Amino acid sequence: MTKDQIIGAIHEGYTDVPAIKACTRAGTSCGSCVPMLKQLLSVAGVQLSKALCEHFDHSRQELFEIVQVRGIRTFSQLVTEHGRGRGCDICKPAVASILASLGNGYVLDGEQASLQDTNDHFLANIQRDGTYSVVPRIPGGEITPEKLIVIGEVARDFNLYTKITGGQRIDLFGARVEQLPQIWRRLVDAGFESGHAYGKALRTIKSCVGSTWCRYGVQDSVGLAVALELRYRGLRAPHKIKSAVSGCARECAEARSKDFGIIATDNGWNLYVGGNGGFRPRHADLFASDLSTDDLVTYIDRFLMFYIRTADRLQRTAAWIEAMDGGLDHLRAVIVDDSLGLCAELDAAMARHVDLYEDEWRATIEDPERLRRFASFVNAPDTPDPSISFDVERGQPVPALGERRPVALGLPTIGVRP
């Protein structure tokens, strides 16, 4: 779908995002181009509503303020007092994220369960064949041999496809829904916790080996990455958050392609913000230089909490900064100079998150009532879904797609010498 086709649809009278989607199918696949649709509407002179959806006349930022100030704890209270109807697949997950970011407890308790999308509903990412992925947190990419062995044993025993990711952790694919608690019980017992790959939350903080091992490293990048990932784990946000820490200017952790990235200097740390890969890659911008570790953490705390408080639904940090009046200079004034008088409130919000953090999978497997949702069939909870089947590719199970499998190139396999 070209830009000219979308502009043509706007001129024909399709003057909101749902109408453009229906007419052109743009934004109906991965959704990465939806922000661009809004930009094209704005350029065409269309006055866009700030309403989150048909059930709320408020923006996400305004709903965040309402929930926080009024102490609202449920979606039903919010929609009754400040909206209308029963909600939809736009406002329900958005409000669920707001409630979670304000420390509203276990994300699947009570009414909150009905707000979640498919991934959050089962605390796992659903795959194309109806199975789920299991992604334990591996802070900073650092893992002990004992934990590495447990991951291998779990993958072997449950016949899971295993993949090392770009975020320096190991994803296990092909788990049926009723297997998820069994798998996570073993992982939790081994000291793992949820990696939140299924949620709009902090994903990973990547790192190089830093001064611990590398002859070029000037700071302990692994130690900082681990500490930051454990600090921000489970932090719900308008969109996913990625980060990295590099131990020197050689930038092996690729910190400048992240929502916030840190690069070590001889005098401390440089902090970069507003980077991302994806549909429109963008390098992060330098926010502050030669920071002490304490100042670095303070600025990241405030950056994340200000983003959570003010960003639009599904808006990454790069787009948030670009759309901000005053851009990076305004953001720096808010976070460093406290120009809005919010810093104490932002600091307290992050402290509350750190204090209230609870691993969602540990909380799940320790509660028999919570475990009841993990079943392929309500009337036969232990029966596996018979429609799920696998082929074997490069020695691992993959979804059985028949003729849709990619064509093999006949490349040699990696053998093991005796």
pLDDT tens-digit series, residues 185-220: 999 999 999 999 999 999 999 999 999 999 999 999
How far apart CA 67 and CA 95 sit, in angstroms, is 9
How far apart CA 245 and CA 290 sit, in angstroms, is 14
Give the residue carrying structure tokens 């851009």.
Answer: 327
Collapsing DSSP to helix, strand or coil, 190 comes out as coil
∠ CA 234-331-247, nearest 5°, is 60
Mean pLDDT rounded to a whole number for the chain? 91
Which has the higher per-residue pLDDT, 330 or 406? 330
The model's confidence at residue 412, banded by pLDDT at 50, 70 and 90, is low
Residues near 199 by beta carbon (within 8 Å), at least 6 away in sequence = 107, 119, 120, 236, 240
The model's confidence at residue 43, banded by pLDDT at 50, 70 and 90, is confident
Sheet arrangement for strand 202-207: 202-207, 241-246, 260-265, 268-273, 285-291
For residue 112, pLDDT over 90 is answered with no
How far apart CA 155 and CA 175 sit, in angstroms, is 10
How far apart CA 187 and CA 158 sit, in angstroms, is 13
Collapsing DSSP to helix, strand or coil, 149 comes out as helix
Q: Please give the pLDDT value at position 44.
A: 78
Sequence length of the chain is: 418
**Encoded amino acid at 380, one letter:** A
How far apart CA 246 and CA 168 sit, in angstroms, is 14
The model's confidence at residue 65, banded by pLDDT at 50, 70 and 90, is very high
How far apart CA 166 and CA 206 sit, in angstroms, is 9
Q: HSE on the CB side for 9, CA within 13 Å?
A: 21
94-103, 280-289, 339-348, 372-381: segment of lowest average pLDDT: 372-381
For residue 414, pLDDT over 80 is answered with no
Collapsing DSSP to helix, strand or coil, 269 comes out as strand
pLDDT tens digits, 216-249? 999 999 999 999 999 999 999 999 999 999 999 9
Q: Please give the pLDDT value at position 415.
A: 61
Closest CA to 312 of 27, 59, 63: 59
How far apart CA 258 and CA 275 sit, in angstroms, is 5
DSSP letter (8 states) at residue 284:
P
Look at the pTM and tell me if it is higher than 0.85.
Answer: yes
How far apart CA 328 and CA 289 sit, in angstroms, is 14
How far apart CA 198 and CA 122 sit, in angstroms, is 9
How far apart CA 152 and CA 187 sit, in angstroms, is 11
Strand-pairing partners, residue 264, are 269
CA torsion through residues 290, 227, 248, 258, sign: negative
CB 95 within 8 A of CB 80: no
Q: Please give the pLDDT value at position 416.
A: 55
Strands, E assignment, 107-188: 125-126, 132-134, 161-164, 170-175
